[in-house]
């Protein structure tokens, strides 16, 4: 009898935890169909109007476009710089390597308020105007740390014999990198880029410190929260959720197929 | 590459460790060249971080010592070495600082208690069911796909006085008739727990996924009870994940202010992030805000270092 309970306690508890995890997401989704009017606080009846006119509320779509631009720019910068650092740190030894190592890990151990506040202090000090550029710079700092950590694990797991085989076959270092190293690292780099994009797109605290009057999607919602978030924000939030779900599921299916194909070979 | 095969072999042996002291000029030159490529790869990102991470922290430190000149306009400060800024903010916000760490600690423990069984369920129990495992793994990171602020706002509405949860709890007499959930410390800790849960579950999942289930069988064969197997086999092997997860939850939770701002009240749930934000933007007290940021940063580094020292750096990465 005790064994029985022991067997069931984890699935039941885990299942409840998954419900806890999904309740707010279901709530956001449900309230995107609310016939809300100005404030989306109580259920007033089902409507498709919000989904048919996602840009109906002022500023929602502009802030979304701003957010997408920031995330794409920051992800590109962080992925390129971070991948180069990961390669350099794992593959090569040089002076100041340990310093570089520490400098890259520290942003991860720094809370967002401090990152945001210190960058704001720096921008005030330099006399730069806050806006798109300062937000992209700020996002690149914390995304880069994630890229380095993710890609570095992949580089460390790479068999150096493969690259040696390529150079034994008279491939130039550049060709070796393009034809062997990069394809092997690609899954790690793509994962890092997706993670960066998600972190950047959803960031509020660092953005709030460094954006001035420039509105990103999270900042728009935060400001709107005091006087009522329009239902259109829920529509956009739900769509982004579905989109991300599609990307991840597609990725899983692809890797599953690959594994199956490899096993069949 | 023209190096002889044998030489290349030795080269690899040296990689990953300190270069061996072989007095081979050709090898030394190759090492030097490799070192230069490494530096070139790291240089752009390193420069970027120096400019936009290291330098800002130094600027923040300098700013925390600025002073306000008599008769200066709002937002005008002069460089100085006014160390009393620290004493002033520490005296005023000591309680808030302690509370922030207490909330972060409570949220980290709650996330561990909720997250570990989830990770265990997906990584170990469902190992034979590939499809279900895949679906739940996606759900594990699902909160990442939706907006942090929308989720927190959703919690605010779910826990609101006129919301479903409060109604049920009042009917069951768990909450008194005028009891509420929003604007309480409980709501803030719940929000923190919820929002940082994936940072806890993912590292634990990653270390449990590598767990060899034959070890669990062996332990059972040796008449260990399931509890004992968990304590002596599963838990020690998943410690790297627990270690990473607690750090990844605690650090952002202690500096967060969105949960406290949306789910808390203005009296006894204020967190340090809110204070830093309002010192910067509402009060326009840059030195005070900078001093508080710096105190927070150092406090976290000290706590993290103590934690790493206590539970071993071998669990890191």
Please tell me whether residue B37 adopts helix, strand or coil conformation.
Answer: helix
Which candidate, A176, A62, A247, A141, places its Cα nearest to that of B45?
Answer: A141
Which candidate, B161, B155, B197, B189, places its Cα nearest to that of B271?
Answer: B189
Do A95 and A148 have their domain in common? Answer: yes
The encoded tokens of residue B26 equal 């050709």
Return the DSSP state at B177. T
Q: Which chain B residues are Cβ-neighbours of A244 within 8 angstroms?
A: 144-145
Chain B touched by A23 (CB under 8 Å): yes
Phi/psi for B228 (5° steps) reads -70, -40
- The model's pLDDT over B160-211, given as tens digits with 9 standing for 90+, comes to 887 778 878 887 877 777 777 888 899 999 999 999 999 999 999 988 988 8
Confidence of residue A228 (pLDDT cuts 50, 70, 90): confident
Do A129 and A5 have their domain in common? Answer: no
- The model's pLDDT over B86-117, given as tens digits with 9 standing for 90+, comes to 999 999 999 999 999 999 999 999 999 999 99
Note whether residue A262 is domain-resident: no
Confidence of residue B72 (pLDDT cuts 50, 70, 90): confident
> Do the chains contact at B48 and A81, CB–CB below 8 Å?
yes
Cα–Cα distance measured from residue B79 to residue A125, given in angstroms and rounded to the nearest whole number: 11
Please tell me whether residue B212 adopts helix, strand or coil conformation.
Answer: coil
State how far Cα A102 lies from the chain centre. Answer: 23
Confidence at residue A254, expressed as pLDDT on a 0 to 100 scale: 83
Confidence of residue A159 (pLDDT cuts 50, 70, 90): confident
Cα–Cα distance measured from residue A89 to residue A145, given in angstroms and rounded to the nearest whole number: 13
Category of A59 on φ-ψ map: left (φ > 0), alpha (ψ -120 to 50) or beta: left
Do A77 and A126 have their domain in common? Answer: yes
State which H helix or E strand residue B226 sits in: helix B226-229
Nearest Cβ partner for A28 among B35, B41, B150: B150
> Do the chains contact at A240 and B120, CB–CB below 8 Å?
no
If 0-12 CB within 10 Å is exposed, 13-18 middle and 19+ buried, where does residue B315 land? middle
The encoded tokens of residue B117 equal 């069984």
Q: Is the pLDDT of residue A74 over 90?
A: yes
The encoded tokens of residue A13 equal 């508890």
Window A:145-164, CB contacts with B under 8 Å: 148, 160, 164
Q: Is the pLDDT of residue A4 over 70?
A: no
Chain B touched by A25 (CB under 8 Å): yes
Q: Which chain B residues are Cβ-neighbours of A137 within 8 angstroms?
A: 52
Residue B237 CA neighbour count, 13 Å, CB half: 18
Closest chain A residue to B118, measured at CA: A14
Cα–Cα distance measured from residue B30 to residue B1, given in angstroms and rounded to the nearest whole number: 10
Nearest Cβ partner for B42 among A41, A89, A140: A89
> Do the chains contact at B150 and A233, CB–CB below 8 Å?
yes
Chain B touched by A137 (CB under 8 Å): yes
Nearest Cβ partner for B147 among A97, A218, A245: A218
CB B78 within 8 A of CB B67: yes
CB B117 within 8 A of CB A17: yes
The encoded tokens of residue A140 equal 């690149």
Which of A12, A19, A24 to mutate to probe the B interface, most B CBs <10 Å?
A: A24
- Distance in Å, alpha carbon of B149 to nearest chain A alpha carbon: 6
The encoded tokens of residue A224 equal 């709107």
**How many domains are contained in chain A?**
2
Which candidate, A52, A10, A66, places its Cα nearest to that of A221?
Answer: A66
> Do the chains contact at A205 and B158, CB–CB below 8 Å?
no
> Do the chains contact at A234 and B286, CB–CB below 8 Å?
no
Confidence at residue B196, expressed as pLDDT on a 0 to 100 scale: 93
Phi/psi for A35 (5° steps) reads -80, 75
Q: Is the pLDDT of residue A97 over 70?
A: yes
Return the DSSP state at A109. G
CATH superfamily of B92-315: MetI-like (1.10.3720.10)
Chain B touched by A165 (CB under 8 Å): no
Task: Name the residue range of residue A2's domain.
Answer: 1-31
Do A62 and A169 have their domain in common? Answer: yes
If 0-12 CB within 10 Å is exposed, 13-18 middle and 19+ buried, where does residue B261 land? buried
> Do the chains contact at B148 and A202, CB–CB below 8 Å?
yes
- Distance in Å, alpha carbon of B83 to nearest chain A alpha carbon: 18
- Distance in Å, alpha carbon of A154 to nearest chain B alpha carbon: 13
> Do the chains contact at B254 and A106, CB–CB below 8 Å?
no
Closest chain B residue to A30, measured at CA: B154
Note whether residue A247 is domain-resident: no
Q: Which chain B residues are Cβ-neighbours of A168 within 8 angstroms?
A: 1, 5
Note whether residue A140 is domain-resident: yes
- The model's pLDDT over A13-64, given as tens digits with 9 standing for 90+, comes to 988 999 989 999 999 999 889 887 767 777 878 888 888 888 877 788 899 9
Closest chain A residue to B44, measured at CA: A81
Confidence of residue B242 (pLDDT cuts 50, 70, 90): very high
A and B: number of Cβ contacts within 8 A? 258
Closest chain B residue to A225, measured at CA: B153
Q: Which chain A residues are Cβ-neighbours of B283 within 8 angstroms?
A: none
Cα–Cα distance measured from residue B199 to residue B111, given in angstroms and rounded to the nearest whole number: 9
* Domain map (residue ranges) of chain B: 92-315
> Do the chains contact at B49 and A198, CB–CB below 8 Å?
no
User: Quick one: average pLDDT of B256-276?
Assistant: 90
Do A157 and A209 have their domain in common? Answer: yes
Confidence of residue A262 (pLDDT cuts 50, 70, 90): confident
Q: Which chain A residues are Cβ-neighbours of B272 within 8 angstroms?
A: 113
**Residue A114's domain is classified under what CATH number?**
1.10.3720.10
Cα–Cα distance measured from residue B238 to residue A173, given in angstroms and rounded to the nearest whole number: 40
Chain B touched by A174 (CB under 8 Å): no
pTM above 0.90, yes or no: no
Nearest Cβ partner for A113 among B63, B247, B273: B273
Nearest Cβ partner for A11 among B42, B52, B125: B125
Confidence at residue B317, expressed as pLDDT on a 0 to 100 scale: 46
Cα–Cα distance measured from residue B64 to residue B58, given in angstroms and rounded to the nearest whole number: 10
Note whether residue A263 is domain-resident: no
């Amino acid at each position: 009898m005790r064994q029985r309970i022991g067997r069931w306690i984890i699935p039941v508890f885990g299942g409840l935890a998954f419900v806890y995890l999904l309740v707010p997401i279901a709530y956001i989704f449900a309230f995107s169909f609310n016939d809300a009017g100005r404030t989306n606080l109580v259920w007033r009846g089902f409507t498709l109007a919000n989904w048919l006119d996602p840009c109906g509320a002022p500023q929602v779509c502009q802030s979304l476009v701003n957010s997408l631009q920031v995330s794409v720019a920051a992800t590109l910068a962080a992925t390129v710089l971070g991948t180069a650092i990961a390669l350099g740190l794992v593959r090569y030894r040089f002076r100041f390597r340990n310093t570089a190592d520490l400098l890259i890990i520290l942003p991860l151990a720094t809370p967002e308020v401090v990152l945001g506040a210190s960058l704001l202090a720096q921008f005030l000090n330099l006399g730069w105007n806050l806006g798109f550029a300062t937000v992209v710079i700020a996002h690149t700092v914390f995304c880069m740390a994630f890229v380095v950590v993710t890609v570095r694990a992949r580089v460390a797991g790479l068999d150096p014999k493969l690259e040696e085989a390529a150079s034994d076959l008279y491939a130039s270092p550049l060709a070796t990198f393009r034809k062997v190293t990069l394809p092997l690292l690609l899954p790690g780099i793509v994962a890092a880029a997706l993670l960066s994009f998600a972190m950047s797109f959803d960031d509020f605290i660092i953005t709030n410190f460094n954006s001035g009057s420039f509105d990103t999607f999270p900042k728009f919602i935060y400001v709107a929260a005091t006087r009522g978030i329009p239902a259109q924000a829920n529509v956009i939030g739900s769509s982004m959720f579905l989109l991300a779900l599609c990307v991840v599921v597609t990725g899983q299916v692809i890797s599953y197929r690959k594994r199956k194909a490899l096993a069949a070979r | 590459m023209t190096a002889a095969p044998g030489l290349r072999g030795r080269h690899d042996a040296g990689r990953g460790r300190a270069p061996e002291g072989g007095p081979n000029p050709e090898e030394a030159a190759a090492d030097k060249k490799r070192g230069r490529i490494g530096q070139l790869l790291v240089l752009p990102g390193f420069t970027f971080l120096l400019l936009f991470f290291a330098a800002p922290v130094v600027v923040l430190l300098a700013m925390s010592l600025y002073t306000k000149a008599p008769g200066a306009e709002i937002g005008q400060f002069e460089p100085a070495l006014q160390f009393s800024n620290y004493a002033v903010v520490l005296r005023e916000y000591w309680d808030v600082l302690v509370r922030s760490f207490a909330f972060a600690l409570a949220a980290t423990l709650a996330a561990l208690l909720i997250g570990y069984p989830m990770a265990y369920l997906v990584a170990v129990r469902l190992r034979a069911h590939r499809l279900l495992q895949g679906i739940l793994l996606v759900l594990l990171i699902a909160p990442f796909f939706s907006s942090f602020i929308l989720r927190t706002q959703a919690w605010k509405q779910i826990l609101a006085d006129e919301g479903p949860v409060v109604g049920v709890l009042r009917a069951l007499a768990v909450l008194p008739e005028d009891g509420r959930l929003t604007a309480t410390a409980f709501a803030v800790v719940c929000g923190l727990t919820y929002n940082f849960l994936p940072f806890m579950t993912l590292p634990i999942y990653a270390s449990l996924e590598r767990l060899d289930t034959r070890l669990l069988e062996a332990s059972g064969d040796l008449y260990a009870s399931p509890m004992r197997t968990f304590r002596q086999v599963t838990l020690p092997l998943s410690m790297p994940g627990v270690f990473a997860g607690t750090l990844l939850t605690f650090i952002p939770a202690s500096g967060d202010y969105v949960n406290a701002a949306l789910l808390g009240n203005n009296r006894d749930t204020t967190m340090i992030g809110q204070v830093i934000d309002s010192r910067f933007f509402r009060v326009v007290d840059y030195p005070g805000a900078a001093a508080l940021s710096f105190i927070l940063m150092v406090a976290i580094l000290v706590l993290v270092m103590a934690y790493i020292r206590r539970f071993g750096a071998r669990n890191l990465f």
